[in-house]
Structure 1
């Protein structure tokens, strides 16, 4: 059956969002309508609040959560109306704005306090006032005063976090300014001047002051670059110098950001707030909205392809919806483990940023150009020096090697969101659902160390040093130094995939241990389900093209001999493609390979996963080298099951330059 607006999605239901044939501007308008329609039953009586299904708590008050519910969809609705589209339920939001900003209305949103979540939601409201035709005109004089008081006066008098939030105050003032309302030009200018101190060069802005190294989707699509481009469009006539600078930065960073999106439209999940889902592509629509001159070799057909393929991929993720048809907290399925403490049930609708393309005129080459693939012209390897990444696209997925990034505060799962060695568009990162044993830590693409026999584990979170260096033949290597314990020193080398070994990358660790530590070096996580019956993977069966080697024991059993193999033989798992890990150093080191049966719902993409892992114990006072070869060959168009393990029996050797460094130490 197919769900219709207002109906509950049943056992075999398909969300209307997934049934839209995305091909042109009109179809993307339909896609947005399919996203907004299910919200109607959850409006409050006076329309000022939307209580999106899900009774989960959040770090701010319930009213602010319900303000998110009505304001975040405004990103999409405002873009639809700005592009001369229509929506039959638009009056719900107009009525809600009137009621929510009226202090005499029982559903009044309330003035913000310092660092209040309401300030975030002022950004889409300010943008909507600036671009949606007739919204300001529909307000009476009294209603305009209410909006001015709530949107402008209150936010201009409060403290805000020293982050991308400052852009939200800019847009609150800009929305009023565009309509002749009361606003603060002084606040607007001073906030942009301060935000400029976040700029680091090469087009990249940091999400915060200089001592923080955090360049994730907030630096591009969720906030900073996105809002810079919207500002350039809306205020460029009055502030041409800034507008030109923001467009220049966008041209510089576009060639970097193109490497985050693979041929199938998948983005590489990295950092926090990836529960905003298809907002990941909003930078590209904003390029068109600001009419930026694209850097060669990108074309508007390529930009269009990035956006539409990304939206189409999300159409295939059928588990992102509640039974009522609303977005859930999570990524490819509902998941609170990966959520931040600021993710309310209404929070995922920041995804509506993706619909900035609907505000782009239908005559713009973004819409008139034929879709193209950017991978036909951009290099398969690129160094991103500002964020500290080496980007590759080999073997069926985009991959990001990373060192040095860290969130400015120790948020839940921060070591997984920023500290992993590798991030993949095909194999999302895993956030720990608990803090007890490897099954709960789910150390995908991480090296974990334990000094208590394997109960608690520490991984890389803060790097004391990180940098992209070159070795033989000027090939790039990502190097970092870090200390999981005060007396355990680690130097990590990340060697990217190459064309002649497209499914392998190498990571090497020089570990000096001042205490005895157990170690666990994890590959990517992969789906732990058999196609035929959904049960856990058994021992690898070539006939079915699924299974593990050695056997996946699970149930916290780490003693069964059949669950272990020599490190040189390695461990792999095959289901939706294949992942694995092998030890390249001397067998005398004694690392052993096994499969970690990760706790459910740890991974972003798959709710049941296993992680091929190498384990070892380092004696106190010892210094060792670990050289791990990590295999990843995703499923995809043209890849037969029989070919998933192609190349597994031919791992790369230790690079000569690395062997020389090992010999010196």
Structure 2
């Protein structure tokens, strides 16, 4: 029998059209991990891969994260036949005398993250996870949670985890110091940067943690908390405003924009749409909200996202440790179950009774001021130009935050070897090398500006090299202009979009001076040199396998060339489209290098700092 990785996906074959389909999906996702519960029920260890925290915390992660889907299922009237396992595990995991004790909770500790799911369960379904417990077990669990909520949480979305634990403690009648809850809520609101966007802490970046954490938890609070009406209204109104921007991070096929860290949480990205319904926020018509929501989960249903036994893997479109973070344990992917929050709503809720509507069409580029992006809706895809954000404390941060362009259809590549310049893909990026071995690309920024639908950034790949980059939409193309000032000659490589590679080398390449095109089986990707005084060679490359988030094997067009000491202007046009008439016509488009003087004047008159970048570090 030939192994079909898609069929290992627990969602495979489920039409995912109705509320009942989603209820079935939760049980299908849970059953593969059932054999990995420890005898006492407190530990779930799914593989030998490790994370930066200890094994006990990782085992707690495997135990707790499925609750994000189980709890809404049961709260909405569904059946979950394994509550005895969870009650036993909760009692044993919080008992210091038990061999499966989760360990003591310290400041900024991973256990604080996972206890939020337990707080959510206590708040939503105490009749299943709390009330049947013996008084002694209740006392042990309450003591563990109260002690945990007194710890210091990381200064970002983690502060919501105390809030969620507190909602659970309040529901089951355990007393605690509510002033600390209020303090964290005030600090979380201070991350608001306008237009519905938050920062995820004191950082120069926004990513999927804004929809699936900051807004997600805020909307849960607005639905479950008693009193605090003014704050709950603010949470709802920010989410209402935010929905008009974040819809541009979802493609017409339901794919979410792959951007930033924690992509292994997969369909958690669609949890924002469900959280709107859960908190009764009709930010868009219910039919549109439901369309964004349901298309997203269906997009995942045929991807090889699970191991052979149906356990969700670390990875994105397929198992892939290269793209993971140091905090990803084998249980981490089960945060994807946050997607299922609206199952807590009754079947006659207007969210469930609405007919799915397609996403509106957006023929013109759409500026997104909060993250410093411009969205272009193209056939089968949303292309996002990015002024650049920064996260220099994690592997692959440059690729996850600082590329010039991201895409719902083509995702992005992670570089596999930073000491092999010729093998680097630089999709959506400009790579520079001064020794033909090591390389640099856009990382941290000195400045990031937006002017209408155009973007500007200034960045220094070395302390003595300055690059200014302008990004312009030219749908379905986009144009990049780089002005590079360097005291020494540099080698350059710049990439377009990575598309899927077929077996047996049946894809067709074109490469010549100033031009490279890959004609794939399903997509075409092209890059053209528009530089005024430098000529680069087109190169049709095949990136190292397992570097792209969606496809294990890809094709990528590049431009390569040398620049001398001094100041050089490079200009590039890039696009990718599904095979068809649109792609054929676009290959014959007339494209010219923009005038830098005009761009400078535009940003002098209208340029404003990107909201996510304004923070002084």
TM over 0.5: yes
CA distance in 2, matches of 1:278, 1:77: 15
1:197 to 2:169 alignment: no
Aligned 1:585-600 pairs, distance under 5 A = 585-586=531-532, 588-600=533-545
- Structure 1 residue 358 and structure 2 residue 340: aligned? no
Q: Does 1:337 align with 2:287?
A: no
1:94 lines up with 2:55 in the alignment? no
Distance 1:590 1:99 in 2: 67
For 1:661 and 1:465, locate their aligned partners in 2 and report how far apart those are by CA, in whole Å: 15
- Indicate the SS of the match to 1:578: strand
Determine if contact 2:516/2:540 at 8 Å carries over to the other structure. no
Q: Aligned pair 1:443/2:426, yes or no?
A: yes
Task: Kindly indicate whether residue 508 of structure 2 is the aligned counterpart of residue 566 of structure 1.
Answer: no
Q: Is the 8 A contact 2:315 2:323 kept in 1?
A: yes
Structure 2 match to 1:654: 593
Whether 1:512 aligns to 2:503 is no
| Alignment-derived partner of residue 211 in structure 2 | 220
Distance 2:70 2:422 in 1: 43
Using the TM superposition, give the Cα deviation of residue 485 of structure 1 relative to its aligned residue in structure 2, in angstroms.
Answer: 1.0
Distance 1:133 1:312 in 2: 31
1:535 pairs with 2:504:
yes
Question: Is residue 388–residue 403 contact of structure 2 (8 Å, CA) maintained in 1?
Answer: no
Match of 2:45 in 1: 51
User: Which of 333, 353, 372 is the aligned partner of 1:388?
Assistant: 372
Report the equivalent of 2:614.
Answer: none
Count residues in correspondence: 601
**Matching of residues 25-64 of structure 1 within 5 Å:** 25-52=19-46, 54-64=47-57
Normalised TM-score (structure 2): 0.94
RMSD over equivalenced CA pairs, Å = 2.0
Structure 1 residue 417: deviation in Å?
Answer: 0.2
Whole-Å separation in 1 of the counterparts to 2:83 and 2:404: 45
Return closer, same or farther for 1:404/1:10 CA change in 2, 3 Å cut-off: closer
Contact 1:251-1:293 within 8 A present in 2 as well = yes
Q: Which residue, 445, 459, 462 being the options, matches 2:444?
A: 462
Note closer, same or farther for the CA distance 1:78–1:301 as it changes in structure 2 (3 Å cut).
same
Q: Which residue of 2 aligns with 1:559?
A: none
Q: 2:73 aligned to 64, 77, 80, which one?
A: 80
Alignment of 1:619 onto 2:560: no
Match of 1:583 in 2: 529
Which residue is equivalent to 1:279? Answer: 268
Instruction: Please identify runs of 4+ aligned residues in structure 1 that moved more than 4 A.
Output: 9-14, 657-664
TM-score normalised by L of structure 1: 0.87
Give the match's secondary structure for 1:482: strand
- Equivalents in 2 of 1:643, 1:214: separation in Å? 34
Aligned residue for 1:91, secondary structure, equals helix
* CA pair 36-204 structure 1, distance change in 2 beyond 3 A: same
Question: C-alpha distance in 2, partners of 1:110/1:19?
Answer: 40
Distance 2:4 2:550 in 1: 22
Q: Is 1:394–1:497's contact at 8 Å kept on the other side of the alignment?
A: no
Residue of structure 2 aligned with 1:138, choices 132, 136, 139: 132
| Structure 1 SS opposite 2:457 | strand
- Change over 3 Å in CA distance of 1:662–1:354 after alignment to 2: closer
CA displacement at 1:493 relative to structure 2: 0.7
Instruction: Map 1:303-382; keep pairs closer than 5 Å.
Output: 303-317=289-303, 319-376=304-361, 380-382=364-366
1:245 paired to 2:206: no
- Post-superposition offset of 1:91: 2.8
CA deviation digits over 1:261-298, x for unaligned, max 9? 1111111100000110000000110000000142xxx2
Q: Render the CA deviation track for 1:615-636: whole Å, top value 9, x for unaligned.
A: 111112x21111101021035x
Deviations 1:353-405 (A, max 9, x none): 000121122221110111101224x6653211111111121233111111131
Distance in 1 (CA, whole Å) between partners of 2:163 and 2:81 is 30
- How far did residue 173 of structure 1 move? 1.5
1:265 aligned residue (224, 237, 254): 254
SS of residue paired to 1:283: helix
**Pair 1:411-2:397 in alignment:** no
Q: How far does residue 661 in structure 1 lie from its aligned partner after superposition?
A: 5.5
Q: Which runs of 5+ in 1 are unaligned?
A: 3-8, 471-475, 538-545, 551-564
Q: Distance in 1 between matches of 2:582 and 2:7?
A: 33
1:18 and 2:12 correspond: yes
Deviations 1:461-518 (A, max 9, x none): 1111111114xxxxx21111111011211110111133xxxx2111111111122111
**Contact persistence 1:206–1:213 (CA under 8 A):** yes
